Amino acid sequence: MRAWVVGEPGPIDAGPVELVDKPMPAPAPDELLVRVRACGVCRTDLHVAEGDLPVHRPSVTPGHEVVGEVVGTGSLVVGFSLGDRVGIAWLHRTDGTCRYCRGGAENLCPHSTYTGWDVDGGYAEFATVVADYAYRLPDALDDVAAAPLLCAGIIGYRALKRTSLLDGPAPADHPKRLGLYGFGGSAHLCAQLAIALGIEVHVLTRGEQSRRLALDLGAASVGDARDAPPVALDAAITFAPVGDLVPIAMRALDRGGVLSIAGIHLSDIPPMDYEHELFYEKEIRSVTANTRADGREFLELAVRHGIRATTHRYRLCEADRALRDLKAGRFDGAAVLVPD
Ligand SMILES: [Zn+2]
Ligand SMILES: [Zn+2]
């Protein structure tokens, strides 16, 4: 089959990803073999290709927003049949036995492995997935529309949960106010869900195209990250992998506000001013992957509220160009690879 691999990680313009012919994967007894019909392009793929995330598997095939059709099943698989449509996401496998797994926090499992980092992902014609970690996809979502939901969407949802804004209703005289710093694939899905749930969303980002998309989706305001939003925020989420944004977002929070950091990688956070950026019980929370329950909840919410990814199609053979365009910010929404 044809598949992309990360050779020597480095700047994306130096060509760290290569398209190669390699043997089709064989499913383990508890795995499904999947023919890939769409694979989203996530910023984490860029971090793997550029070496921001250390190499876990040499020559790994990136891609963890995979929509495909089951074309083979391992001997122990029950509940999936040939022809079923499934989603493959970032969380590949956990041990299922540690205290985090047993306590409902499998995203923190010290033995977790990840698709497109520890094992081969979906920038390929075929991929495998552990059956227990595959998502069944609602018919309402077509292949290309579903792909970005599988990481960008689920992580945006996890980040929104981590702000605590979903924990209870807003007081009648004070809408919940959320700031989103950066407005790429994950943020534009998170914004739609927050707005559908009655949260007032303020988007702080550069780029005219992203700002237009934010307003089209119902944002209450758009502005530059360096400027204060028009209102004090109850919560904020940073999506851009830029540590400099952290004190800026903390300053924009109201008393008791929470910042949730959605990225897997962040440049260093500069020193903070305690009085203006942390005092009054403001909190900083990181977001580490997601549980399968998060994924199932989000897919259900996405269908119920009609959450739609803005997508740009690239053929599988153009994955390197998609990654370069992502880095350069040449599209709004999300890029999705489709078979050649
Ligand atoms: Zn575990
Ligand atoms: Zn991702």
Number of Cβ atoms within 10 Å of the Cβ of 74: 17
Centroid of ligand 2 to alpha carbon of 255 (angstroms): 31
d(CA 267, CA 123) in angstroms, rounded, equals 27
Centroid of ligand 2 to alpha carbon of 159 (angstroms): 13
Which is the CATH superfamily of the domain at 2-137+310-338? Medium-chain alcohol dehydrogenases, catalytic domain (3.90.180.10)
Centroid of ligand 1 to alpha carbon of 279 (angstroms): 35
Residues 6 or more apart whose CB falls under 8 angstroms from that of 323 comprise: 12, 17, 41, 45, 46, 49
Average pLDDT on 127-142 reads 95
The residues facing 70 across adjacent strands are: 34
- Of all ligands present, the nearest one to the C-alpha of 116 is 2
> 246-287, pLDDT tens digit by residue?
999 999 999 999 999 998 889 999 999 999 999 999 999 999
Centroid of ligand 2 to alpha carbon of 240 (angstroms): 13
Centroid of ligand 1 to alpha carbon of 302 (angstroms): 28
> 94-106, pLDDT tens digit by residue?
999 999 999 999 9
- Of all ligands present, the nearest one to the C-alpha of 91 is 2
- Of all ligands present, the nearest one to the C-alpha of 64 is 2
Question: pLDDT exceeding 90 applies to what percent of the chain?
Answer: 93
Centroid of ligand 1 to alpha carbon of 104 (angstroms): 10
- Of all ligands present, the nearest one to the C-alpha of 102 is 1
- Of all ligands present, the nearest one to the C-alpha of 62 is 2
Report in angstroms the alpha-carbon separations of 22 from 49, 115, 125, 340. 19, 18, 10, 16
- Of all ligands present, the nearest one to the C-alpha of 44 is 2
User: What is the C-alpha R_g of the chain?
Assistant: 20
Centroid of ligand 2 to alpha carbon of 43 (angstroms): 6
- Of all ligands present, the nearest one to the C-alpha of 47 is 2
Q: Which of 6, 102, 54, 94 is nearest to 264 (CA)?
A: 54
Centroid of ligand 2 to alpha carbon of 257 (angstroms): 26
- Of all ligands present, the nearest one to the C-alpha of 97 is 1
pLDDT > 90? residue 2: yes
Write out the residues surrounding ion ligand 2, Cβ under 5 A. 42, 44, 151
> 55-72, pLDDT tens digit by residue?
999 999 999 999 999 999
> 152-175, pLDDT tens digit by residue?
999 999 999 999 999 988 888 899
Centroid of ligand 1 to alpha carbon of 290 (angstroms): 13
pLDDT > 90? residue 332: no
pLDDT > 90? residue 133: yes
Say if residues 205 and 242 touch (Cβ distance below 8 Å).
no
Domain boundaries, the chain: 2-137+310-338, 156-286
- Of all ligands present, the nearest one to the C-alpha of 104 is 1
**CA contacts within 13 A on the Cβ side of 274:** 0
Centroid of ligand 1 to alpha carbon of 68 (angstroms): 27
pLDDT > 90? residue 212: yes
Number of Cβ atoms within 10 Å of the Cβ of 335: 25
d(CA 165, CA 235) in angstroms, rounded, equals 7
Centroid of ligand 2 to alpha carbon of 126 (angstroms): 19
Say if residues 200 and 178 touch (Cβ distance below 8 Å).
yes
Look over the chain and give the mean of its residue pLDDT values, rounded to a whole number.
96
Q: Tell me which long-range contacts 215-221 makes (C-beta under 8 A, separation of at least 24).
A: 217/188, 217/191, 217/192, 218/191, 218/192, 219/191, 219/195
pLDDT > 90? residue 331: no
pLDDT on residue 207: 87
- Of all ligands present, the nearest one to the C-alpha of 65 is 2
pLDDT band at 327 (very low <50, low <70, confident <90, very high): very high
Centroid of ligand 1 to alpha carbon of 203 (angstroms): 36
Residues 6 or more apart whose CB falls under 8 angstroms from that of 59 comprise: 5, 6, 7
CATH topology of domain 156-286: Rossmann fold (3.40.50)
Average pLDDT on 28-35 reads 98
Q: Can you give the chain as a three-state secondary structure string?
A: CEEEEECCCCCHHHCCEEEEECCCCCCCCCEEEEEEEEEEECHHHHHHHHCCCCCCCCCCCCCCCEEEEEEEECCCCCCCCCCCEEEECCEEECCCCCHHHHCCCHHHCCCCEEECCCECCCCECEEEEEHHHCEECCCCCCHHHHHHHHCHHHHHHHHHHHCCCCCCCCCCCCCCEEEEECCCHHHHHHHHHHHHCCCEEEEECCCHHHHHHHHHCCCCEEECCCCCCCCCEEEEEECCCCCCHHHHHHHHEEEEEEEEECCCCCCCCCCCCHHHHCCCCCEEEECCCCCHHHHHHHHHHHHHCCCCCCEEEEEHHHHHHHHHHHHHCCCCCEEEEECC
Centroid of ligand 2 to alpha carbon of 277 (angstroms): 29
